[in-house]
Structures are given as structure tokens and as C-alpha cells.
Chain A
Amino acid sequence: MSTQTQNEFMLLFRGDEWCKGLSAGELQNVMSQCKAWFDRLVEQGKIKAGQPLVREGAIVSGKNGRLVSDGPFAESKEAIGGYLLLQADSLEEAVVIAKGNPTLVYGTTIEVRPVAQECPLDVLARQAVREEQLVSA
């Protein structure tokens, strides 16, 4: 996967109905606040990538992906509306950055996840092998 993953954090923006019920004025306000928040982070060199997502798509599951449904996705407040990939020194810093997002007051949640240095499956496999060795020792 990505080779320079140290100090990378994903912000996953959850909640896709938070802007319903806001007036045009409120929406304009939030949008310009978001733009300012984002532009500041870009200036600080914190943004590596980021995109909003269309509210549709597909869910693939089952062996060989034989089941394909149109959604619906997770319930609305869990639905992911977009993501940012940040460069930050620590999870704490990434959390502080997330706290500055203007949509939170309207009910979104932001999941902050460190990018893994290596595949979590490999890490788990090694742990399991170590545990097996301890048990059989």
C-alpha cells in the first residue's frame, strides 16, 4: 500500500442528512466556514487528499462478490459523505483538526483513524502465531 504512511490519518465524515432543514443562508454560512477550514489546512500542508462522495453506489458481498445491491448504505447518520487524508504528528493533532470542522454543530460525526503501516491481517497473523507458540511452549 502507500509507502509514506507515517503520520497519516483519515477523517471519515459521517452523516448525510445534516444539511436538510437548514436555510439557504445557514448553508452558505457553513459552506464558507468549511472552505475556510479546509483552505487553512491546505496552507498548513496538512491535506494530502480528500473527496466528497456521491450518495449512491453499490455494496458488493458474498463469494466472488456475487451479491451486488444498490444500497441503502448504513443508516443515514453513519453514511459516509466524504473523507480527508491528513498529514499530522499524532492522533491527538488529527482529533484537534477534526474538532474544527464547522459541520459538527449540525450533527455530523467525524471518525479519525490512523493509516496503518502494514496490513492489519499480517499483524494479526503474527500475533496469533506468537500466542500459539506461547500456549504450546
Chain B
Amino acid sequence: MNEKPEKLIDKKGLRLDGRKPNELRPIKFEVGAITSADGSAYVEQGKNKILAGVYGPREVHPRHLALQDRTVLKCRYHMAPFSVQERKSPAPSRREVELSKVIRESLEPAIFMEYYPRTMIDVFVEVLQADGGTRCASINAAALALADSGIPMRDLVVACAAGKVDDTIVLDLMDTEDKVGSADVPVALMPNLNAVTLLQMDGILSLEEFETAVNLALEGCKQIYAVQKEALKTKYVTTKEENKEEAEE
């Protein structure tokens, strides 16, 4: 067990990892990390290391789950046993079942479900290392993987948390802040439609603080969205150039 730090924000107003209250952790997005998948992405946010893979639209299994007017989206959020301090049993915990559900519901509004009746789309998210805010990083990875798979989407989905530590509203909580802090508000957003697709909270916030936290999280989402777009461009601009070179040869 790590010792609980006494103060989460120092005299200069900086956080445990040296960030300002409204600063994100370093981000690395990589689109197309798994060659076997129809779409995939690898995400690092702080010490979070997360892989997402998308398979489908494909045959529904078991078949009775098929819907006649739209596709079935399935989502599995899973943490590797070695992703946390104390080994996590690989069997899905109740937390993982709940997170799989809310992540699925955060992605569903972005997908044109009615385009693929009688099929299913599988989204698999594996947390290789957890550092607080894994559900948000998972959504960022899953949205990139979906976009990479070519499934038509209304918008990307981007997620970020805000919260309260030592009476300050801060952006993008890391592990210790999440555990010791007084509130955590993860938010997912479809940035072009200004639509919130995931909202959860635990901890205690006044209505005013809650509003501040949500607005800060939405700002964070918009910053992350820019990085997501860059990651998609990086893959597809490179692919396009490679194709051009091949054609010239």
C-alpha cells in the first residue's frame, strides 16, 4: 500500500505530479495497433496503458440476440491482473461489468446502429496498466478503434474526468488523487454535437462545484479531441502516402 499523502496540492498550487489544476496528463494515441482487428487503438494517458480492438459488424453470437432493425453493440472492459498494485483476479468483477455497460452506452449514440441490422459489433478494451481515469481513457481508445474500423459514426467520443482534491476542482485525476480526493466526475462527450454520453460521479460536491467540475471536464474533452483527430490523421495520411508510393512504383 502506498502511504496517503497529506496534501494533494502544494503551496504553489501544483499537484503531486507537478501539474496545474487544469492541466491534462501527457497523452499518446496510436491508431491501428492490432493487425488482426477491424479497428484498434493504443492509448497512454499518464501511466494508463490501454488497448482497444473492434471486431465487426459480424455475425451475431448467440443468434437470438440479433436485432432486426439495428446492430448490437457489445463492449467488454477488462483489467489485466498485473495492471494494478495488488493482482486483480482475471474474472470480471462487478465493477468491470458496470464499466462495460457505461462505456457501451457512451459509444452507442455515436454509431449509426441502424446501418447494420442483424449484426453485432464487438468492442474489447484491455487495461494493461491502470493509473486512475481508466474508464475515460478506455472510451478514448474505443472511439479511436471504432473510427479506425470504418464504422460510420456521427461524431467521435472523447472522455475526461474532473474532480475535487483539497478543495480545488482539478482536471484529469491520477490514481492517488482519485483514491484520496473528495470527488471524481468522469464525462464523455461527442464534441461536435455537444452531447454528453457518459456522466458519473462519486464523492461530495455542491451544485456549484459540480457545475464547475463538469465544465472543466468538458474543456479537457475538447483538448483530448484535438489529439484524437491528430492520431487518426497520422495513420491515414501515412497510409495514403504509402499507397501513392506503391502506385508510382
- B and A form one assembly: no
Q: Interface of B with A (CB < 8 Å)?
A: none
Q: Interface of A with B (CB < 8 Å)?
A: none
